Each structure stands twice: as structure tokens, then as C-alpha cells.
Amino acid sequence: MQNSILIQRDSLRGYANFVSVLLSRVTVSAEKKATYPYVFGVQLSHRDDKVSGRRWITEVGLRQENIGKPIECSILLKTDEVSAKVNEPIQVTRPKLVQQLIQDCSPIGQTPGVSVKRLDQESAMAFLHEVEREEREHPITLISCDRDGAYPVDLERLRSILVGLSDVVAVPVSVDTFAIEEIVGRRYIAFGGAINVIFPSRKGDRGWFCETVLFRPSEISDFHAEGKKVESEVLSAITHRTNLPYSWRHISPEMVNQAVLRSQLAQMLERAKDSNNSEELGDYIALLESADQELLTKDAELARIRIEYEEKEHEARKLQADIANLKYALSGRQASEDSQDDDVVEALAPLRESITAVLKGIPSLQQALELISSLYVDRIVVLDSAINSAKESDRGGFRFGDKAFELLSKLANEYWQALADGKGDQHAKAAFGHNAYAQNEGQALSGPGKQRRTFVYHGKTFVMEKHLKSGVKDSLAETLRIHFEWIAVEQKLVIGHCGKHLDF
């Protein structure tokens, strides 16, 4: 069973007090027997129980080519507003009817999202083959867990929402994601509670490329803070790209009407030709044949328009793939100065603000941290936990952003260079002078204290006792601790915390 889902909302509930209209149509013979291909369509429309001027329309279409063949099912749920003044936001989700069909019917193997799949080191190569398979038509939604083994969304809930649209693949907490990344590549992996949506492959001038939409843990936290549902945001990102092509495949009531009309025309032509008065009915037969030919011509014209659109869409995707490949190859380097692309300007705006703040000597802690991360992308990795701790200090009135930038700059330059040259930590720490660097906490860490200094990078846990320090008060405004770890194999420094002093 194939299932196309467009703009979605929760299942219909309690609309007995509102006017509803139910329409259906089916292809049957004059004797009321099913004819093949068998096509059925039903449409239910009703008013919204909360938003005045909004009407909900649900369509279900079925097609079966012959007895015993799989039944293709498509479901469309859309709204119809009486005017532009009806602008209440729509919560994107899927109707319960989809889940009921999955539970009560027997979906064929090609239906995506029937079960949650698992990605580990043993299945990584098969996962990569599926990602890059040219025939793949549906997205893959990859979900990782945080260091405590918690996923950002209930796996079964997300699977039930994406069934028919996307496969759902989970990365267990016990696997070595660093090893998996070496097989599938960084573009097709997710870490630390992130969600990565991998769309079907597209061919560009530089080869095949899969577009991705990455939901980072910090972005997911913002969804929760804003009262948004993570599964709805993921579904929205997917349907934004799948709605149009799926709408062409939807078995709509109009499509059923056309099938019924063609069947009736064929039956009338057959009866007219077999009639004893066929010569007298010559004009009638010609009229029927003309109507039939007109329908075929309209179908051919519609198919031609769709092909032209798909070719243009393919070309646009191809160009986007080339752009994405170039961006990936540049590894975050700044675009050419003559580029005035709005996306580039928007991306550079925070960087400009951070540089201006540093030059004025008044950067926030978050600005200092993100600027170093942007300037030294090949040397410094800033975890989401570090960004969050910097935000917390800024909310607490942190006043020494210039000092923080100085320490971070030395970390990314002199300290990193010494370690990259193989000189060891004892030599490298001289970059900070006295009292600004500590190799450990100077006392045994308790269970909670050790946990607070434990961070996950590429699926591995690191107790980051090495830290830079400024201030001794228990104050968000005056005290700074930057906990980090040197990853020799990558020659990168990973910052797990940048903010207040962590309790022991």
C-alpha cells in the first residue's frame, strides 16, 4: 500500500454539531459490479470547530489494477478558508485514519515507515547504499539519542506520523557513531539528540547528492520552549517538499469522475456499435468518439505539462545539489565577496555582529564562542551544551566577553598549534600564562560532579577536566569556566562547556 499525505492535521473528532458533506464515487458496471482497474474516491468536508471561516476537506482514494493486486491508497487533508482574514496557524500532523489503515490492512514492503529501523556499525554500509540508491523516492528520517540514551521525540509516535512518507531510522545509544560516520559520512549521520532528514538523491554536475535538513538539539530545545511539537516540525519539513509530487499521484474524486466518465463512454460506444440502428446512430457515435478523444487529449496535455515541470524542478534541484556540494567542499568558508545572495547575507549577519562586538570590546560570551567556532572551524568544535551554558551566563549578566574571547583565541591558536606539532600539554599550556589554565579540577570528582563534566562527541563520552578559568566567585556575571578536550586523531579541540563554574 502506498500512502500519500499532504497538509495534515489530527483526526476528525466530535463534529456532530457542524454541517458536514460526504461525497463518494466508484467505477462500477451497469450491473453494479466492480470493474478493473477499480477506482474509488470519497470526500468529507466540514467546518472547523475552533476557527470561524475555515473548512476541512478530507479525501481518500483507492485504486486496484486487478483482483488480487495491491490496493494503492492516497489520503489528502487540506483546508479551505473563506478569505485571507482567516489566518490562524495550522498544526501540522496526520489524521488517525492513516494509522488505522496501517493497523487493519497489510502494507506491502515498499510502504515507508511501517517499522522503526536501526542503524549500527553492522548495518551502516547497507544504510549508505539505501541513502544513495537512485531509485529511492521517499526521505529517510534519522534520529539520534543524547548521552543519557533519550531520543528527542518518541520513536513510535514519529513513525506513526511519517508512515507512508518517510522511513524512520534510530541510532541506539550503545553504538559507536564515530565508526558509523567513517562509513556513511558526516552529511548522513546525526549525533547527540539531533534529527537528520535525508531526501532522495539528486544528480548534479559534481555527482549524486542528497539534500538534508538537520534539526540540532539546540533547535529542538527552542521548539519545546516555543510550545511547538518536534514531530510536527519534522513532518512540515518533509511535506514541504513532497506535497506537490504526491498531489499528482493522489486519487482524487475528480480523477474517479474521469474514470467513471470514460467507462460510461466506452459502454455507450460499444452498445451503439452493436445496435441494429448503427447507421442511424452514426452522428451519435461520432460525438461519443470525439468526447473520448478530447479526454485523451486533455490527459496527454496534462502529462506533458507535468513532465515539463518535473524537468525544470530537476534542473533546479540539480543546481541546488551543485551549490550544496560546493558549500560542503568549502567546509564553511565564506562565499565570494561579490555574492549578494540573501541566504549568504543572512548567514553572515551574526558573524558581522560578533566581530563588531569584539572590536568594541563588548562581546557577549555566546558571540565570543560562536566567532571562534566560525573562524577556526578546522580546529574548534563547539558542542550545543557549550552554547547553552554561554547563553545562561549571558542571561545572568556576564561582563567579561573580551576576556573570554582572548582565552578562546589563545586556545585556537598557540595552544592548538603546540598540540598539533606534538609538543604535549605541558608545553602547550604556556600559551595562557599563569592561573588561566588547569589540567584537572585539583580534587576528586563526585558522581554528580563528574557527570556535569561529561560530554558526548561522535557517540563517545569524554570527562572534560581540562579547563580555562577566570574569576572565583559563584557568579554567572563574573566567573568563567571553559571545559574542553583534545581529540588527537582529528586534531581538534572540542568545547563542552563555556559558562559558570561547575559544581563538584
Tens digits of residue pLDDT in 34-74: 778 888 988 888 888 888 888 888 889 888 888 888 888 88
Residue 209 or 385, more confident: 385
How confident is the model at residue 151, as a pLDDT? Answer: 95
Same domain, yes or no, for 273 and 218?
no
Helix (H, G, I), strand (E, B) or coil at 150: coil
Q: What residues are paired with 467 via a beta bridge? A: 438, 483
Segment among 67-76, 227-236, 254-263 with least mean pLDDT: 254-263
Inter-residue contact 230 to 219 (CB < 8 Å): no
Looking at residue 5, the DSSP 8-state letter turns out to be B
Residue 404 has which C-alpha cell?
Answer: 573570554
Residue 482 has pLDDT above 90, yes or no: yes
Cα 70 from chain centroid?
Answer: 30
- Looking at the structure of the chain, the number of domains it has is 4
How confident is the model at residue 178, as a pLDDT? Answer: 86
Residue 485 or 336, more confident: 485
How confident is the model at residue 324, as a pLDDT? Answer: 59
Same domain, yes or no, for 202 and 286?
no
Same domain, yes or no, for 438 and 348?
yes
Structural domain containing residue 308: 253-314
Same domain, yes or no, for 457 and 444?
yes
Same domain, yes or no, for 493 and 374?
yes
Residue 342 or 504, more confident: 504
Domain stop point among 80, 108, 136: 108
Same domain, yes or no, for 101 and 121?
no
Domain stop point among 248, 275, 298: 248
Helix (H, G, I), strand (E, B) or coil at 276: coil
Burial class (CB in 10 A: 0-12, 13-18, 19+), 503: exposed
Tens digits of residue pLDDT in 184-196: 888 899 988 999 9
How confident is the model at residue 89, as a pLDDT? Answer: 80
Q: What residues are paired with 117 via a beta bridge? A: 169
Residue 96 has which C-alpha cell?
Answer: 488517525
Same domain, yes or no, for 75 and 186?
no
How confident is the model at residue 301, as a pLDDT? Answer: 72
Confidence of residue 152 (pLDDT cuts 50, 70, 90): very high
How confident is the model at residue 416, as a pLDDT? Answer: 93
CATH, residue 173: 3.40.30.10
Strands 140-144, 167-171: pairing is parallel
Mean pLDDT for the chain overall: 81
Question: Is residue 352 situated within a structural domain?
Answer: yes
Residue 114 has pLDDT above 70, yes or no: yes
How confident is the model at residue 262, as a pLDDT? Answer: 75
Residue 176 has pLDDT above 80, yes or no: yes
Same domain, yes or no, for 395 and 302?
no
Question: Is residue 6 situated within a structural domain?
Answer: no
Same domain, yes or no, for 241 and 358?
no
Question: Is residue 200 situated within a structural domain?
Answer: yes
Q: Which amino acid is at 480?
A: L
Confidence of residue 466 (pLDDT cuts 50, 70, 90): very high
End-to-end CA distance of the chain: 56
Q: Residue 143 phi/psi, 5° resolution? A: -120, 130
Same domain, yes or no, for 213 and 141?
yes
Segment among 175-179, 214-218, 242-246, 345-349 with least mean pLDDT: 345-349
- CA quadruple 183, 187, 191, 195: dihedral positive or negative? negative
- CA quadruple 242, 245, 247, 249: dihedral positive or negative? negative
Tens digits of residue pLDDT in 357-381: 777 788 899 999 999 988 898 899 9
Cα separation, 140 vs 112, in Å, equals 9
Same domain, yes or no, for 36 and 160?
no
Residue 243 has pLDDT above 50, yes or no: yes
Residues 6+ apart with CB under 8 A from 468: 407, 408, 411, 432, 436, 437, 438, 480, 481, 482, 484
Confidence of residue 346 (pLDDT cuts 50, 70, 90): low
Question: Is residue 494 situated within a structural domain?
Answer: yes
Cα separation, 375 vs 495, in Å, equals 15
How confident is the model at residue 9, as a pLDDT? Answer: 31
Question: Is residue 331 situated within a structural domain?
Answer: no
Residues 6+ apart with CB under 8 A from 332: 374, 377
How confident is the model at residue 435, as a pLDDT? Answer: 84
Sheet (strand 195-204) strand order: 116-118, 167-171, 140-144, 195-204, 207-215
Question: Is residue 326 situated within a structural domain?
Answer: no
Domain stop point among 198, 215, 248: 248
Same domain, yes or no, for 368 and 453?
yes
Confidence of residue 10 (pLDDT cuts 50, 70, 90): very low
Question: Is residue 191 situated within a structural domain?
Answer: yes
How confident is the model at residue 468, as a pLDDT? Answer: 94
Question: Is residue 169 situated within a structural domain?
Answer: yes
